[in-house]
Structure 1
Amino acid sequence: MSIKPILFNTPMVRAILDGRKSCTRRIVNPQPQGRLCYTFAGGDCGTWGYPSKTAYENWGDEYKLPEDITDEELKRRWNPPYHTDDILYVRETWRKGLERYIYRADYSDTEKFYRGGKEIEMKWHPSIHMPKEAARIWLKVTDVRVERLQEITEEQACMEGTDPWDEACYENNGWHPTLSDPDSGGDPNMIDGFHKLWNSTIKKSDLDYYGWSANPWVWVIEFERCERGGVDER
């Protein structure tokens, strides 16, 4: 078990706080090329750790001779960023107030801020610069696996914190819910909503490689909330 940071943008922090997000997908780097055989060191076929030298994996031309790769190199290239039972502290957009830390996710996108009766522009610090002491959300990893992005299910799309009211969830349903009649046409398509959500996190220059249509290999990391006080940092 290790204690590690994990970054989430403001909408995903809100989803975690609301209890709507208990899973995240992260790009596998480097990406496997061709068919991936699920035979890995330390487990049976179908388990995930890192490829063994005798496994019949195909991770690209430069890795077709596994006997030439050291164990250290295997671990470095194919070790997941998080493991089951790891404790993660969430880094989010923040700033330090006079007496406490404050967080962007606690305020609406249209929130106005005032000082001395005058409206001011709040200057927030990016999540990557948030110190560990400012973390208020702690997570325990419950499962880690690898799969193609488009293998996501409706249930998993919900666990990703996809907003069921996003119009993308209804584009292929032929109807649009309203507050007065939210059930007028059936259930939302959460995978379509996740499709939009995923692409919003990828740089435009990388969409051809890591966007939804590219269907990249991803780490699927499931987690649950835990208390800061229960973490042993020794």
Structure 2
Amino acid sequence: MVRALLAGAKTQTRRALRSPEDAARNRFGRPGDLLWVRETFFAYGRWETRFNLRKQHAEWFFTDMTQAAGHAWRYAADEGPGADAHARREARVAPAWHKRPALFMPRAASRILLEIVEVRVERLQEISVADALAEGLPPGAERDPVLAYRGIWEGINGAGSWDENPLVWVLAFVKRPLASMSIPNI
């Protein structure tokens, strides 16, 4: 989906409501709000351990040295160099390029900024052909976009999740140039 965002092919996303009361508490934002996108990335740094007093044991943590070393983050969605072959979670080794999950992406590493243009709630199966295409479907899905989107939905949310026909948040957005401001993430 990152490639579809970068190409401008993905202009909508759907997220299941956690409960019927969730419809009154939109946690994704309103039209005009900006969202930064996290994605799997590569950071230059090293693993170290620290003792956690509360848990009473040592824990691993990653020290991101990318900017301090004069490098730029790399992205898993791009072709090109990724993690170093010798990169491993071992204390006191030289810094290297490590693959990092999207969850740990710092705001400064994000390269995709989205502006929300519409927010609505609907049943999942109410998705139109145009909306399914706006979800950034892979090439070849044009024959039956809704069926293709169903496959993506169930791949993320589990078998049978389409048939449950949950209420979903629908966020429509446009890609914006990056800006240095404090904004939430999705």
Contact preservation (8 Å) 1:26, 1:218:
yes
Greater relative contact order (Cα 8 A, min sep 6): structure 1 or 2?
2
Counterpart among 32, 35, 38 of residue 91 in structure 1: 38
Are residues 114 and 149 of structure 1, via their aligned partners in 2, closer, same or farther at CA, if it must alter by over 3 Å? closer
Which residue does 1:104 correspond to in 2? 76
Aligned to 1:149: 124
Give runs of aligned pairs for residues 50-129 of structure 1, distance below 5 A: 78-81=24-27, 82-97=29-44, 99-107=71-79, 123-129=98-104
Question: Could you tell me whether the CA contact under 8 Å between 2:114 and 2:173 is conserved in 1?
Answer: yes
Q: Which runs of 5+ in 1 are unaligned?
A: 1-11, 33-58, 60-75, 170-186
1:21 equivalent in alignment to 2:10: yes
- RMSD of the alignment, in Å? 2.5
Give the Å deviation of 1:233.
Answer: 4.1
Gap change, CA 1:27 and 1:114, over 3 Å in 2: closer
Q: Any conservation in 2 of the 1:164–1:188 contact (CA below 8 Å)?
A: no
Paired position in structure 2 for 1:159: 134
1:136 aligns with 2:108: no
Percent identity, aligned pairs only, is 32
Q: TM-score, normalised by structure 1?
A: 0.57
**Which residue in the other structure is 2:151 paired with?**
196
Q: Which amino acid aligns with 1:95?
A: F
Q: Which runs of 5+ in 2 are unaligned?
A: 45-65, 88-96
Displacement of 1:96 in angstroms is 1.6
> Structure 1's 21 and 127: CA in aligned 2 closer, same or farther, altered over 3 A?
same
Distance 2:109 2:172 in 1: 23
Name the structure with the higher helix share.
Answer: 1
Distance, in Å, in 1 between the alignment partners of 2:137 and 2:7 is 12
Counterpart CA distance in 1 for 2:81 and 2:143 is: 33
